[in-house]
Amino acid sequence: MKICLLTSRPSAAIQLVYYAQTRGVRFDDVIIVGDGGDKFFIFKEYAQFNGFGLHFVDDPNGVSCIRLLTEIQPDILKIVLTEIIRKPVLDIPKIGTLNTHAAILPRYRGVDTGYWAVLEGEKVGVVEHFVDEGVDTGDIVCQCELEIRPEDTINDIFYRNHYLNKWQVATKALLMIQNGAMNPMPQKPEDGRHYFAMHSKLKQIIKEPREN
């Protein structure tokens, strides 16, 4: 199975590539949204040492990226992006495109969803899902909920959700697909809500220490 990573967040992507390798998942190609300049030297050395193709594009939805992905012909396209991917890119991978969402779906779609979940006293976790033309509406491959402790601050919750769940869930999904053990769960539009950016003042209130 050929896996390609498309990212505009190199520091986060290298964490995923490293963790996935420790679990037996190998990326064949990595595409970075950037100019390929000196600031990417660590990723260039890492790619050379680990033997995967490294490419640079200026726009994840642009013609050069579409042309490159068409040449690579990945089975799975894994994205670590802030940009929304459009249909011409989504149509290229044979199996599909995967995204890691740091909140529970379908309940929390959109942005700042971890903050909204904490504000509303709901479950926090990470979901790996297929990407469709909606926002966080694709079929769910796997998820993991975070156990929240009474003494946790908001920073504790986000830190542990990131380091205990994020790339672990992403890698688990890739392993499930690689091993033919995938059983995606469709999302119903009416089961969730779409959230938008939370006001900074409200975020600050949430970050204040909670009473036990």
The residues spanned by each domain of the chain are 1-94, 100-212
Dist. CA 149–CA 151, nearest whole Å: 5
pTM for the full model?
0.94
Classify 204 as helix, strand or coil. helix
Question: In one letter, which amino acid is 162?
Answer: H
User: Burial level of 95, CB count in 10 A (0-12/13-18/19+)?
Assistant: middle
Instruction: Look at the domain 100-212 and name its fold.
Output: Rossmann fold (3.40.50)
Residue range 1-94, CATH number: 3.40.50.170
In order along its 212 residues, the chain shows pLDDT tens digits of: 999 999 999 999 999 999 999 999 999 999 999 999 999 999 999 999 999 999 999 999 999 999 999 999 999 999 999 999 999 999 999 999 999 999 999 999 999 999 999 999 999 999 999 999 999 999 999 999 999 998 898 889 999 999 999 999 999 999 999 999 999 999 988 889 999 999 999 999 888 765 55
Dist. CA 166–CA 160, nearest whole Å: 9
Are 1-94 and 100-212 the same fold in CATH? yes
